[in-house]
Amino acid sequence: MVTTVTSFGRSGVFDWLYQRVTAVVLLAYTLFIVGFIFFSDDFGYESWSALFAQGWMRIFSLVALLSTIAHAWIGLWSVVTDYITNRTLGPKATVLRVVIQLLLGAVAVYYALWGIDILWGV
Amino acid sequence: MLKVSIYRYNPETDKAPYMQDYEFDTQGKDLMVLDVLELLKAEDPTLSFRRSCREGVCGSDGMNISGRNGLACTTPLSEAAPKGKLVLRPLPGLPVIRDLVVDMEQFYEQYKKIEPYLQNDTPAPAIERLQSPEDREKLDGLYECILCACCSTACPSFWWNPDKFIGPAGLLQAYRFLADSRDTATDERLSNLDDPFSVFRCHGIQNCVNVCPKGLNPTRAIGHIRNMLLARAV
């Protein structure tokens, strides 16, 4: 058992499952948006703005945004803990890894708040 | 003439590893790579490598043969050097002790972690613990592993985290005991594996399957472990 405190759910199977569930959400959202753009009769500002005025679309968008953040965290955490380690870069790697993880966390929080502001601000 | 290029490193005399070239006359025979090494060693006794059974059973002579991990004793030149050039390097990722000899400590450490022995907390019967032929069949494709380390040292996840990721060889053996109807430590075994590194650093690229000299499939075993973890967690 390897103990980690910065992985998303602290458990391997949780992270694995969460990454797959969020991937399905993102696929559904992408297909919906692409479908809406190509198959709506009068695609333009009016229809786009009407779509995002609806509560369910805002919720769906927020779920997609939070899925992106969770998915990205799990994926990038794997990348960072593969390549930015004491084994590959020496003892300074721990500081660098913590800084990168903090930056990623800050970006995640900023995007979440900014996304809510955009979705409910118009 | 066969051109042979071999990774040489003696930490007592060399500052850095280097590739040494040899010319070798195969006399038209399709020799095994190990035969070539033995004959070269007769000429140059400083050349170091491990070997024991010379027939693919002991797993001592795992090495990187023309870019692909395999056993020198069971890899013919027709496969390893079709264009007349053979390149031999130690197994990638592990510390080199000398020439083609690597330090397997990290590999064995991961093997030790999965507790590779039968655990049963029920009273021992007067005879052997019996298994149905169907239950015994579940161990096929798992027990044949010879621990040559060709798979784990072909795995990038093991290169980056050999201290945290169990690696394909260890996980194949972990599943060998998880799948054994006589073992009663399934839950403890799974608990020890449920972290983001031990099993889940496997991203399924199947380098292990590609190189296994015994034709085993660690990726499939890892998939089974993942399903067992999932079934227990949801």
Per-residue pLDDT tens digits for B223-233: 999 999 999 98
Q: For a pLDDT cut of 90, what percent of chain A falls above it?
A: 82
Q: CA quadruple B174, B179, B180, B183: dihedral positive or negative?
A: positive
Quick one: pLDDT band at residue A26, thresholds 50, 70, 90? Answer: very high
In a domain, A7, yes or no: no
Residue A40 pLDDT level (bands cut at 50, 70, 90): confident
Q: Residue A79 belongs to a domain with what CATH number? A: 1.20.1300.10
B194 touches chain A (CB under 8 A): yes
Domain membership flag for residue A108: yes
At A41 the three-state DSSP class reads: coil
In 3D, which of B112, B178, B104 has the Cα closest to residue B139?
B178
The mean pLDDT of chain B is 97
Residue A18 in domain: yes
Residue A88 lies in a domain: yes
What confidence score (pLDDT) does residue B89 get?
A: 98
- Residue B22, φ and ψ in degrees, nearest 5: -130, 155
- Mean pLDDT for the stretch of residues B137-158: 97
Percent of chain B with pLDDT over 70: 100
Q: Which of A41-45, B91-95, B152-156 has the lowest mean pLDDT?
A: A41-45
Inform me whether the pLDDT recorded for A32 exceeds 90.
yes
Inside any domain, residue A113 = yes
Please give the tally of structural domains in chain A.
1
Q: B21 touching A, CB under 8 A?
A: no
Asked if B163 and A13 come within 8 Å (Cβ–Cβ), the reply is no
B98: helix, strand or coil:
strand
In chain B the domains, ranked by start, together with CATH numbers, are: 2-102 (3.10.20.30), 105-233 (1.10.1060.10)
- The partner residue sitting opposite B200, judged by closest CB among A15, A85, A87, is A15
Do B160 and A82 count as a contact with CB atoms less than 8 A apart?
yes
Range of A75's domain?
A: 12-121
Whether residue A2 is contained in a domain is answered as: no
Q: Is it the case that residue A8 has pLDDT exceeding 90? A: no
A12 and B229 within 8 Å at the Cβ level: the answer is yes
Give the pLDDT confidence of A48-87 residue by residue, as tens digits: 999 999 999 999 999 999 999 999 999 999 999 999 999 8
Note the pLDDT tens digit of each residue in B162-198: 999 999 999 999 999 999 999 999 999 999 999 999 9
Q: How far is A2 from chain B (nearest CA, A)?
A: 6
Kindly give, in sequence order, each residue whose CB lies less than 8 Å from that of residue B20, ignoring residues fewer than 6 positions away: B5, B6, B8
- Note whether A11 contacts B233, CB cutoff 8 Å: yes
* B94, B187, B194: best to mutate for the A interface, most A CBs within 10 A: B194
For residue A16, the chain B residue with the least C-alpha distance is B200
CB atoms within 10 A of CB B181: 14
What pLDDT does B226 receive?
97
- How much is the mean pLDDT over chain A? 93
Contacts of B100 (CB under 8 A, 6+ apart): B6, B7, B37, B48, B49, B50, B63, B88, B89, B90
**Chain A / chain B CB contacts < 8 angstroms:** 63
Mark which residues 64-103 of A lie under 8 Å from B by CB: 77-78, 81-83, 85, 87-88
pTM of the model: 0.92
A window 5-64, beta carbon within 8 A of B:
7, 10-17
- Give residues 97 to 136 of B whose Cβ lies within 8 Å of A: none
Distance CA A2, CA B197 (A): 7
Query: Residue type at A62?
Result: L
